[in-house]
Structure 1
Amino acid sequence: MSQLPVVLAAVSAFVITAVTGYFLIPFLKRLHYGQTIKEIGPTWHKDKGGTPTMGGIMFIIGIVVATALGACTLFWGDKTALQTVGAQQWSRLIYGILMALGFGFVGFLDDYISVVKKRNMGLRAREKFLLQLLIGAVYLMALYFSGSRSTALRLPFFGAVELGWLYWPVALFIIVGTVNAVNLTDGIDGLSGSVTFVVALGFLVLSGILGYAGFTLLAAAVAGGCIGYLLYNFHPAKVFMGDTGSLFLGGIVVAMAFGIGLPVVLVFTGIVYICETLSDIIQIGCYKLTHKRVFKMAPIHHHFEMSGWSEVKIVTVFSLVALAGCVLAVFWVLGM
């Protein structure tokens, strides 16, 4: 596969996201779509109150348009690309993007209710969870009817494990769990965007190794979109992605993992997301059982903040951890 479509996807995602942000941020300010700082988090985060949110819209547009441009360029340069790559892979790509857009819409509803309707916590937890389950289930049904009917899960060191009908609830758990884990990671300036940029680079390499041209384009677009967004979100942030952006990114990460047929690779590539979620679960569980806290504050990035780490240091260290996870993922795939 020519590298031109991949480069075009990355560069166009960056440019579209950056240009969209230039116009979107002042627009959000005029609408007074400022972030309401919730009760959780360090007290000094209250100084960030009023920073425009829903900034995820900028990279949603950038990633979707850039992936389409990359695909069109690929088809233009290779008239047999659809047959060579396979219709099933392209359908996985389309369904994955649609799923991510569905999660992004749930996030948009959450942000809208929080910012416009002034209901601080946005959608109720039950409402959000049910919508996420529905989107995940529809995505799995779409994969099934498009021909992706394998119920085997490839595990590190164990190979493919046949789960039968259990595959579907496990897959749904991975989808919803990952989306919410990415959402938890969006807690300080530049964190979610930086970590997801590294994760996208990991999937760029993995999809290239495995020959998934469509997901190579998507990963390149996600990487470019994250960099374009970080121009405005790196500390001190001029805009936040909101649940609109974080749930979309969670869906995209899921789409890339399922798209290359390795959902369990998220154990490596998504190591930061997993640690964020586990820290929250451990904190809540221990406090309910013992009335004692394991961390100074959860998720774990707040623990390091409370320990005196700067936001820039946290972002740097967490991105390096994500990079290490992606390297392990590459070694696993090369050894399969």
Structure 2
Amino acid sequence: MKMGQKILDIGPRWHKNKEGTPTMGGIVFLLTTVLLAILSCLVIYLSGGTMRIIAGFLTVAAFAVVSGAIGMLDDLVKFSKKQNQGLTAAQKFFLQLLSAAGLLAALYMQGAIHTAFPIPFFDVTIELGIFYYPIALILITGMINSVNLADGIDGLAGSETFIVSLFLICCALTENNGDVSILGALGAGCAGGFLIYNFYPARVFMGDTGSLFFGGLLIGCGFLLNNPLILIVSGLMFILETVSVILQTTYFKITKHLTGTGKRIFKMSPLHHHFEMCGWKEVKIVTVFSFFTLLFSALSFILEYMI
């Protein structure tokens, strides 16, 4: 069954040429993760070890798969409706909140939750107490949806995910965190391998299946490192996509209420579409965004571990 991508009429008009491109390629990430988890459990079992050794890996891997499954449901609804509108925002957010709560509960039972939030680069922690959990839920759902928003042009989400995954590997190796090392390698391997087919002109899209999987994987690693805020810096280009949408929507509503005519800050949101409307080619946008992701990741690592 060929899952052809539908293109929104409100998007850049030239994106209509991409309609019909096979989507839901992200299902490969889910299958790869499940296979890796099974093999890891088998190795631990045969070596006589305990699953506690890879508890963090299994928890975040399961969360990433569940996040991807939510995206897959969204993709299937789009396909059944034959339009680029799947689950409602409320439905998707509710499912994401449930899965995020499950992640926090699992990490709490493993003793991996620390309610003192570390502030990257300053060697300072802020004790949040019970407020840790709602803030954590916002961080988790926010990061997942930021990666999802970045998946609007060929190769963008995959390129940025590849770089941030390499950053996480470097962090994990520095801290001797085997769980995050494996998960980072999983993210880099999936993203890098998929880019062969997803870079412009894309032969297949990852769909929400893939982008939500990647978002779940990255933020899950941040919590395993007990430093999720560092992803805001390393993954700043993801965050800016979300910020651009919030600013655009808020400004439009306010100006419409005050003047009767809604005005926009950007030519189009998310941010990468603004640059498209300015005449930038997709390859240029991906190159520039990837460069800044690499720059922010390098600065994050240097400031956190080398100064």
Asked if TM exceeds 0.5, the reply is: yes
The equivalences for 1:153-164 within 5 A come to 153-156=117-120, 157=122, 159-164=124-129
CA contact (8 A) 2:112 2:224 kept: no
CA contact (8 A) 1:33 1:116 kept: no
The equivalences for 1:59-74 within 5 A come to 59-66=29-36, 69=39
Identity %: 45
Q: What amino acid is the match of 1:56?
A: G
Tell me the SS of whatever aligns to 1:161: strand
Q: Distance in 1 between matches of 2:77 and 2:267?
A: 30
* Superposed CA offset, 1:232-287 (max 9, x none): 11100011011111111110011111111111111111111111111111111111
Can you give the 5+ residue segments of structure 1 that lack an aligned partner in the other structure? Answer: 1-30
Q: What amino acid is the match of 1:146?
A: Q
Following TM superposition, by how much is the alpha carbon of 1:118 offset from its aligned partner in structure 2, in angstroms? 2.6
Q: Distance in 2 between matches of 1:75 and 1:303?
A: 51
Following TM superposition, by how much is the alpha carbon of 1:210 offset from its aligned partner in structure 2, in angstroms? 0.8
Partner of 1:117: 81
Q: Distance in 2 between matches of 1:242 and 1:271?
A: 21
Q: Distance in 1 between matches of 2:208 and 2:3?
A: 13
Q: Say if 2:110 is the partner of 1:146.
A: yes
CA contact (8 A) 2:158 2:192 kept: yes
Can you give the 5+ residue segments of structure 2 that lack an aligned partner in the other structure? Answer: 256-261
The equivalences for 1:1-336 within 5 A come to 31-66=1-36, 69=39, 87=52, 90-118=54-82, 120-156=84-120, 157=122, 159-290=124-255, 291-335=262-306
- Structure 1 residues 70 and 333, CA, compared in 2 at 3 Å: closer, same or farther? farther
- Structure 1 residues 310 and 74, CA, compared in 2 at 3 Å: closer, same or farther? farther
Q: Distance in 1 between matches of 2:304 and 2:178?
A: 16
How many residue pairs get matched? 300
CA contact (8 A) 1:59 1:228 kept: no
CA contact (8 A) 1:196 1:226 kept: yes
Partner of 2:258: none
Following TM superposition, by how much is the alpha carbon of 1:72 offset from its aligned partner in structure 2, in angstroms? 6.5
Q: Distance in 1 between matches of 2:187 and 2:37?
A: 9
Q: Distance in 2 between matches of 1:125 and 1:119?
A: 15
CA contact (8 A) 1:269 1:325 kept: yes
Q: Distance in 1 between matches of 2:148 and 2:194?
A: 16
CA contact (8 A) 2:164 2:297 kept: yes
Tell me the SS of whatever aligns to 1:139: helix
Q: What amino acid is the match of 2:247?
A: I
Structure 1 vs Structure 2 CA RMSD: 2.1
Q: Distance in 2 between matches of 1:200 and 1:162?
A: 28
Q: Distance in 2 between matches of 1:194 and 1:149?
A: 30
* Superposed CA offset, 1:60-92 (max 9, x none): 32344346657867998xx69x68xx93x6222
Q: What amino acid is the match of 1:326?
A: S
Q: What amino acid is the match of 1:267?
A: I
* Superposed CA offset, 1:99-150 (max 9, x none): 1111111111110010123354101111111111010011111111121242
Tell me the SS of whatever aligns to 1:160: strand
CA contact (8 A) 1:67 1:217 kept: no
Tell me the SS of whatever aligns to 1:50: coil
CA contact (8 A) 1:54 1:111 kept: yes
Tell me the SS of whatever aligns to 1:273: helix
- Structure 1 residues 71 and 324, CA, compared in 2 at 3 Å: closer, same or farther? farther
Q: Distance in 2 between matches of 1:245 and 1:163?
A: 32
CA contact (8 A) 1:286 1:294 kept: yes
Following TM superposition, by how much is the alpha carbon of 1:40 offset from its aligned partner in structure 2, in angstroms? 3.2
* Bigger relative CO (Cα 8 Å, ≥ 6 apart): 1
